[in-house]
Structure 1
Amino acid sequence: MRASLAALVLCVFGITTGEFVIAGILPDVAADLDVSIPAAGLLVTAYAVGMIFGGPILTALTARYPRKPLISVLLVIAVAGNIASAMAPSYEILFVARVVTALVTSTFFANAIVIATSTSPPDKQASTVSKLVFGMNIAMVLGAPIGTLLGDQFDWRTPFFAIAAVCALGLVLVVRLVPEVANSGGSAWSELRVFGDRNVQLAIAVTATGSAGVLMVFVYFASLLTDIAGFASGAVAVMLLVYGLGATVGNVIGGRLSDRSPKRAQLGLLTLLACALLLMWAVSDSTVLIAVMVFLVGALGFSVIPGMQARVLSTAAQAPTLAIAVNASAYQLAAAFAGWFGGHVIDTAGLRAVYPVAAAITVLGIAVSVAAWSRETVRLAS
């Protein structure tokens, strides 16, 4: 079990680093391929769109296939996509390679969660999910910075070759260590029917509304830290590392709390997150206090994720893989909304207003969570 989970965590680390690393090497990509920075930025958008739309579709279409062979094929595609990215002679080919790689990301992560939780005790599902999310944390804390360093020392293509190597190693370990786990065996249509369940709808809505607030702050972190708190531009990378460390700690703690009491953990952690965002607003011009709050908000923002994923798993037992893929798309949509709405808030009320608005959105997430758990209580009582 531990060896299997470690193999899956390594794969999540490699694939997620492939998503994050482009941000650190974007200027080099733009210069080498002779495109503008905004055009190069579309490579990030393309990856997100591939995950939002491609993930659920691919997951539904592969519902009949056994999970271990499926994730092995997905890893092969990830290796090929990153090699194609590294060798891309033009912007257009790099764009296509990024989209193809993005298509497998949500489907792989969804299947990895189902494989891991199906071999863990029922009362350890949230902490098991948190261990897989740990691969994402390490990608944020170490993978992206190391990839940027490789790009600085060699060229922007080197990080993609390194990511391909990590995914290839993960493929070998998956073949050797991960057990066979049956898929649902249903058609794409039968998988899609699970979304007619109001409990599933609410569980996914909790992810979207509960994450959008903290994502809004994260999207505008650089401006908030430099223009409001007074950090030098060079300190932003350090603060992002602090945020990533907080996310790692919060992910582990949140998984354990959700195992013990899913309802109390979800409602309590979201409430603490809303309070932390308001406190961040109150101390937004203090360099020292904001540094502490960056760690705390990172911890609380990621502490809710394992419980949210476990909640989706429990409500969508008939099609858990597709539900997790759609849940990942909901998270990406929340990020897209956070960027758009946060920009609107800044234009109309100023940069500092991002904090209280983010807290208000998180309160909406609490309200949706209360509705979801109340419905569950009524269902169990009847």
Structure 2
Amino acid sequence: MTDHTSSLLSSRSRPAWVLTGFVLLVFCTGTAEYLVAGVLPQLATDVGVSTAAAGQTVTAYALGVAVGGPLVTILTARLPRKGLALSLGLVFIIGTLITVIAPTYAWVIVGRVVSACSQATLFAIGLTTAATAMGPGRQGRAIAIVSSGLTVATVLGVPLGALLGGNLNWRIPFLIVAVVAIAGVLILWSSMPRTPAPATGVRDEIRTLLRGPVLLAVMTTVVGFAGVGIVFTYLVPLLSDVTGLAASVIPALLLAYGVGGFVGNLIAGRFADLDLGKTLVGVFVALVLTLALFPLVAEHPAPMIGMVLVLGLLSTATIAPLQSLVLRHAGAAPTLSLAVNVGAFNMANAVGSALGGIGVSAGLLRWGGFGGAVFAVAGLVLALLALSTTPQEDNQ
């Protein structure tokens, strides 16, 4: 952002309220993604499809984020940020309401895709706005605060869907999400300052995305975070079938995992402000060791519970450092790069769950941690390569 934009944000905005508005909207977009997993049987029965087909509404949302997000960012590159943020919030609300009133499966898919297309760009605007509002030297914390909306959604999305949708109607949780999103839009409308349209355009955004360190950061997200997906996607059967934990213990452990992710994200954001390189390398080294230990302690309940809690802390600790790395190299045109990196986390989940599924089908449920560790090592190597190029060298 320009110095003029920065001064406008600091003098006319109320940063706490701006952050609150973006956190609410990021929470809503993340929750909408995870809610479906908690209401699949009810959704399938209501619209007359199989449970497997109903599960494809998750895929539709993920594709909307990964594919639609960058396209929306490119098409809106020259629009003023406040108007764009409010418009994207309304697009999400409209898409969610389409899902609420959808009479058929096809309309559910339409609603999911419409709402998903807003997520990546909205998230990216929230990150850049928060980083500017909080000032120099606090980018990591700004990113962590906005991202906390997503980590809370990860913790609460499926349980909220199961609790509200299972006891009432699968459409009710989506209606509640739409109402909360309306609150987020109203908060931004009243607190976010109007700023001039960005001086940068589509070519600047694409040129920034194609910089070596930015591409390396995105690749690091896909490859490094996929290692978490390999283990976490099949964590429940691992804990029940291999570790032998009681079914009543596992939900509480998963909740603790999610809380750990929330805390780890905030801690990593603070450390990223102090030393981005050491934070990113430290997180990946810890992730490699933790994932590699999973197969070794899988049959022992006490250490396994400890490993799950540690993995929870590390699961989202890459978000703030990697997005900070993108901001470091993106200069004045960071929105597309940040949006693509948001989609990269979705892609990492998809890759990790697919590869983990192949391993489970081959009877390797216990040993998935070794595969995850290999991906984390690759992520560490890519992160080191991205960190080795300074912004000054990158801009030459």
TM-score by length of 1: 0.95
Flag the 1:182–1:263 CA change in 2: closer, same or farther, 3 A: farther
The alignment of Structure 1 onto Structure 2 pairs a total of residues equal to 381
Amino acid at match of 1:152: G
Amino acid at match of 1:321: T
1:350, 1:181 → 2: CA distance?
54
Tell me if 1:29 matches 2:43. yes
Q: Which moved more, 1:143-152 or 1:279-288?
A: 143-152
- Which of 101, 112, 123 in structure 2 is aligned with 1:109? 123
1:74, 1:163 → 2: CA distance?
15
Task: Please list, as runs of the form range in 1=range in 2, the aligned pairs for 1:40-59 lying within 5 A after superposition.
Answer: 40-59=54-73
Tell me if 1:265 matches 2:279. yes
Amino acid at match of 2:31: T
Tell me if 1:346 matches 2:360. yes
- Which of 221, 232, 245 in structure 2 is aligned with 1:207? 221
Tell me if 1:324 matches 2:329. no
Instruction: Measure how far apart 1:59 and its partner are.
Output: 0.5
2:295, 2:367 → 1: CA distance?
8
Contact 2:226/2:349, CA 8 A, preserved across alignment: yes
String of CA shifts for 1:105-157, please: whole Å, max 9, x gaps: 11111111111112122211011100111111221223442333111221001
- Which of 77, 85, 93 in structure 1 is aligned with 2:99? 85
- Which of 65, 81, 84 in structure 1 is aligned with 2:79? 65
Instruction: Measure how far apart 1:314 and its partner are.
Output: 1.4
1:33, 1:237 → 2: CA distance?
29
Amino acid at match of 2:322: M
Partner of 2:383: 369
In structure 1, list runs of 5 or more residues that go unmatched.
Answer: none
2:363, 2:385 → 1: CA distance?
31
1:296, 1:251 → 2: CA distance?
13
Tell me if 1:100 matches 2:114. yes
Amino acid at match of 2:256: V
Instruction: Measure how far apart 1:378 and its partner are.
Output: 9.4
Flag the 1:226–1:183 CA change in 2: closer, same or farther, 3 A: farther
- Which of 252, 255, 263 in structure 2 is aligned with 1:249? 263
Task: Please list, as runs of the form range in 1=range in 2, the aligned pairs for 1:266-345 lying within 5 A after superposition.
Answer: 266-345=280-359
Q: Which moved more, 1:91-100 or 1:217-226?
A: 217-226
String of CA shifts for 1:54-113, please: whole Å, max 9, x gaps: 000100110010111101011111111111111111111011110111111111111111
1:366, 1:140 → 2: CA distance?
24
Contact 2:221/2:344, CA 8 A, preserved across alignment: yes
Identity of aligned residues (%): 35
Partner of 1:217: 231
Contact 1:12/1:109, CA 8 A, preserved across alignment: yes
**Structure 2 residue matching 1:21: 3-state secondary structure:** helix
1:180, 1:205 → 2: CA distance?
34
Partner of 1:10: 24
- Which of 239, 243, 255 in structure 2 is aligned with 1:229? 243
Amino acid at match of 1:30: A
2:384, 2:150 → 1: CA distance?
28
Instruction: Measure how far apart 1:315 and its partner are.
Output: 0.9
TM-score by length of 2: 0.92
**Structure 2 residue matching 1:303: 3-state secondary structure:** coil
Instruction: Measure how far apart 1:304 and its partner are.
Output: 1.8
In structure 2, list runs of 5 or more residues that go unmatched.
Answer: 1-14
**Structure 2 residue matching 1:122: 3-state secondary structure:** coil
String of CA shifts for 1:208-267, please: whole Å, max 9, x gaps: 222111121111122212221113445433222111011011011111111100000000
Contact 1:61/1:187, CA 8 A, preserved across alignment: no
Contact 2:214/2:386, CA 8 A, preserved across alignment: no
Contact 2:145/2:266, CA 8 A, preserved across alignment: yes
Q: Which moved more, 1:364-373 or 1:47-56?
A: 364-373
Instruction: Measure how far apart 1:272 and its partner are.
Output: 0.7
2:240, 2:263 → 1: CA distance?
25
Flag the 1:218–1:130 CA change in 2: closer, same or farther, 3 A: same
Partner of 2:183: 169
Task: Please list, as runs of the form range in 1=range in 2, the aligned pairs for 1:189-208 lying within 5 A after superposition.
Answer: 189-208=203-222
Contact 1:65/1:185, CA 8 A, preserved across alignment: no
Partner of 2:33: 19
1:377, 1:149 → 2: CA distance?
48
Partner of 2:165: 151
